[in-house]
Every structure is written in structure tokens, then in C-alpha cells.
Amino acid sequence: MFFDLQNTEELSDINFDIIIVGAGAAGITLAKKIESSGKRVALVEGGGEEWSDISQDCYKGQVIGDPYFKLDVARLRFFGGTTNHWAGWCRSFEEIDFQRSYLGPEYKWPITFNDIERYKDEACTILEIPSDFKDVSSADSNIKEIKFQFSPPVQFKEKYLKHIKLSSSITLLLNANLVDLVGENRSVNMAIFESFNGNQIKLSGNKIILAMGGIENSRFLLYMSQKHQNHFFDDKLPIGKFWMEHPHFTMGKALVDKKKVPGFYYSLNTSAQLSNRILNCGFRVEHLHDEGTKSLIRDVLCLAPRLGSKLVKLADKNLVCGVELRAAWEQAPNIENAVQLDVNSVDSFGIPRTILRWHKTEFDRKTVKKSVDEFNRWLLEIDGGRIQLLDWILNDKEYPENDELAGYHHMGGTRMHQSTTFGVVDANCKVHGSNNLFIAGSSVFTTGGHNNPTLPIVQLSLKLANHLII
């Protein structure tokens, strides 16, 4: 069943088993999985079938701190969500990502690696990728070659819109924006939605899931906390806090032996991360065009003519190449990095807009510096190449503002933790203190790993769906 609230003047209020707010990767995965149980599901999207100025305007906000992207550019607000423009990079968490409690209680997941690993094959089928992520490492090295899989990429709108419109157990509502919750005794009994032209519908449901995105989940919970205090969940939850991204920056250039450095993606193994007391960091070894390689060799010829002459011969035989080394790394969960409400600006529904406070800490700098040191040491040990580091990383200067900056990966804010001091949801993604309000998506990540978030978003959504239908 399908309705567009924008074009429907009269729509009867309906009761559902489960109401899912948000039709991105998390919301659509949940709806499709729950559909097989026969439960009545409402999948509600604030935008329409296509991008629109009026919907995208709700995502406008301000960033305070380090340079970052405009918030209404970093995500999409229509059916399919940000899968409508994602690049398809896929990798799941690693076991070490769930074993960071030695760094502090805020790092402790209430679930294990195996709790989401069991959903990897199913999630990979949804994303149309192989489920093989076997890394290559040697016992005497701190560096391992890692594997990503690349989705076509699957755009959830193209893959699922027609099916969901025709589903007998899923009711899809578009242009229906969540504006309020109604209930009592810590239970949400009804959700109120409004279109851009003022049409309104009230949906009753036994369980409500917010799958609105890695910023919007926090924003709406903060709004509900402001409006209703502790009516629906515990007060003083760290809503919006411990928000995380993946910093992305260029480290430098290098000439590498193609036989000794055959891969494109590398990271530190578990023992190296533990011994350095740092978080996860991934490296992309991006091959330069011939002219880029020749330019690096010319630099070497000026400084070391004999070595440069050797490199010229190796380059002619296609045995050496120039590369650009880029890093994307895990950011520490920092309580100061947070989604907040802007008391001076509201969207078209009267909901305060977002203020995102984001900055990189000294710990974040330590993670990438130690990781680069280990990677450089490995290259020297195997005589695989030399890195010409950029000045900002070599001499601890400010991060460049003309680089990638980050990965558009919005994580944390409604994070999973057994303690209400450090988390907003429990191991089953239920908001602490609530009887029936759940959160889905990357906002529940306790830590972020260095992996792209889409695959684990789908894994955790399948886990939540399984919990709700048992």
C-alpha cells in the first residue's frame, strides 16, 4: 500500500505493529526483513520519490569546529536516503573494534563482534557483494593487506521502491514528516506526521523505530526530550554526544616496488594497534599516472642520482610506480563532539535545526601518526619503497583544508551502551527507559572502526529486525 501525504487530503488513521521512520538503508532493510513475518509495517519517509528543495531544506544546519561539509549536502532526504549517491564501498567491523574497553568505559560495546558477524552473508546479499573480506598478513609484520568489496552500488530506491509500493504488509508513506510522539508510561502509542502543505496523519503502533540518519536520530530525540522531558525515556541520556566521523587525508607520495606492495588497501594488525594504544586506520595506495611517477623519480634523481637511475630502469620495466598514500581512520568517541539543537533557527515544521560540533582530538592525531609510522617502517623493512610525507603530518601542523576532510560517515549520537552515562540505546537498540522506542542506523555505533558504515548498518538492521519479529 502506498500514500503520498502531500497529495492526500483525507487519510484515515491506521494502526500498525511497527512504525519505521526513515526510508534509507536502515529503514528499508528493516521493513523488508519484517515483511516476511506478516507483521503490519508502516515505512514513513519525510521526503518524496525524488530530491526536492523543500525536503532537503530540513537538513540545513551549522557546523562549529573543524572544517566540514554543509549538512544539507552531506546527506539526501528522499526515498532511499543517502544510498542514492553512495559510492558502494563495503567493509564490516573487525573483532578488535569490539575490544576497546581497555581505553575507557565509553568504548565498550554491549554486543560482540559475532553478534553482527552472523548477519554478514545476508547483508552482503542485499548489497550485492561477495562476503569474502579475508585479509592478508604475515606473522612478522604489523601491516596487513585488507579487502573491500564494492557494491554496484545498490541504490535502495531503484531496488525496492516498486516492491514496497506493492507489498500487502508494508504501507509506505512519502512526504510524511515526523513532528511529534504521543503516549504514556514510557510507551509511544502514536506518531504524528505532517506533509509540507499541512496534511497530517496520526499512526498508532506497538513499536516505533527511528531510522532517520546519523544526525537526524539525535536531533529528533533531543527535540522530544526538550518538548516532553522524560515522558518517553530516561532523562539525562547523552543524546547527540560522542558523535564520530572518519577523517580522510592525504599523507604523502611514494615510489613503491609493485611486487612487494601489490595491494591497494592496508591497515595495522591488531597487535600493532594494541601496542601503540591507537584506533583503527586504513590506507589507500592510489597509483599515479605515468607523469606522476616520473615526477617523483625526477625528485629522487636530484637528491640521489644513483638511486634515481635505478628507479628509472625499474619504472621502464613497470616494476616500480608512484603512489599517493591516503588515510581514513577511526575517531575516538569524544563527548564534546555532538549534535545539538539550534535555539535560534527552526525548519518548516518548527523543529530546531542542527548544530554539529565536531573537531579532531590529539588522540585522533596520534592514531594516524602512529599508523603512518608503522606503515613507513614496514616499507623500509621489506625495501618496498619510500614515503615523502606532507609537511602537515611530518611536522604536526594544522590539517589541510583542501583535502577530503572526512568520509560523509555520520556515526554515534544515539550510541549503544549498557550504561546510560555513555549510551542512549541498549544492546537491542531500544532507547534506555522506553518500552517500545528503538533506533536504527549508524547513530547507534559505539565506536566507528575505520570501515565504511553501510554494510554494518545493514547488519545491525537485520539484527534489530530479528529481535522485533521473534
- Is 403 a member of any domain? no
Provide the residue range defining the domain that includes 323. Answer: 247-329+361-394
State the virtual CA torsion across 455, 458, 461, 466 in degrees, nearest 10. Answer: -110
pLDDT digits (tens, 9 = 90+) for 386-411: 788 999 999 999 999 999 999 999 99
Block residue for cell numbers 609484520: 141
pLDDT digits (tens, 9 = 90+) for 174-216: 999 999 999 999 999 999 999 999 999 999 999 999 999 999 9
Domain end, chosen from 394, 419, 436, is at 394
Cα 72–Cα 63–Cα 49 angle in degrees, nearest 5: 15
- Is 55 a member of any domain? yes
462/118 Cα distance (integer angstroms) = 10
- Are 281 and 217 in the same domain? no
- Are 162 and 232 in the same domain? yes
- Is 140 a member of any domain? no
Residues of the chain above pLDDT 90, percent: 84
- Are 214 and 306 in the same domain? no
- Is 309 a member of any domain? yes
pLDDT of residue 182: 97
The residues, any chain, with a CB within 8 Å of residue 344's CB and separated by 6 or more, are: none
- Are 438 and 377 in the same domain? no
pLDDT of residue 10: 60
83/75 Cα distance (integer angstroms) = 9
Burial class (CB within 10 angstroms; exposed 0-12, middle 13-18, buried 19+) of 308: middle
Contact 386, 95 (CB under 8 A): no
14/81 Cα distance (integer angstroms) = 25
- Are 54 and 116 in the same domain? yes
Cα atoms found within 13 Å of the Cα of residue 371, Cβ hemisphere only:
29
pLDDT of residue 375: 95
Q: CA separation (Å) from 118 to 109, 158, 401, 407, 463?
A: 17, 27, 40, 26, 9
- Are 213 and 325 in the same domain? no
Nearest to 130 by CA among 87, 102, 79, 92: 92
Q: How many helices (H) and strands (E) would you count in the chain?
A: 12, 21
- Is 137 a member of any domain? no
Domain end, chosen from 346, 370, 394, is at 394
Ranges under pLDDT 50 in the chain = none
Q: Which residues pair with 267 in a beta bridge?
A: 144, 282
- Is 222 a member of any domain? yes
- Are 16 and 115 in the same domain? yes
- Are 219 and 263 in the same domain? no
Please count the structural domains in the chain.
Answer: 2
Q: Which residues pair with 387 in a beta bridge?
A: 254
- Are 460 and 379 in the same domain? no
- Are 116 and 36 in the same domain? yes
Model confidence, pTM: 0.95
Contact 102, 446 (CB under 8 A): no
The residues, any chain, with a CB within 8 Å of residue 159's CB and separated by 6 or more, are: none
Contact 429, 271 (CB under 8 A): no
Domain end, chosen from 346, 369, 394, is at 394
Q: Please measure the distance between the N-terminal and C-terminal CA atoms of the chain and give it in whole angstroms.
A: 24
CATH number of the domain encompassing residue 7? 3.50.50.60
Give the cell for residue 308.
634515481
- Are 388 and 324 in the same domain? yes
- Is 320 a member of any domain? yes
Other beta carbons less than 10 A from residue 4's beta carbon: 17
The residues, any chain, with a CB within 8 Å of residue 188's CB and separated by 6 or more, are: 181, 182, 205, 208, 232, 434, 436, 437
pLDDT of residue 295: 72
13/19 Cα distance (integer angstroms) = 13
* Inter-axis angle of helices 156-166 and 25-35, nearest 10: 40
- Is 405 a member of any domain? no
- Are 223 and 252 in the same domain? no
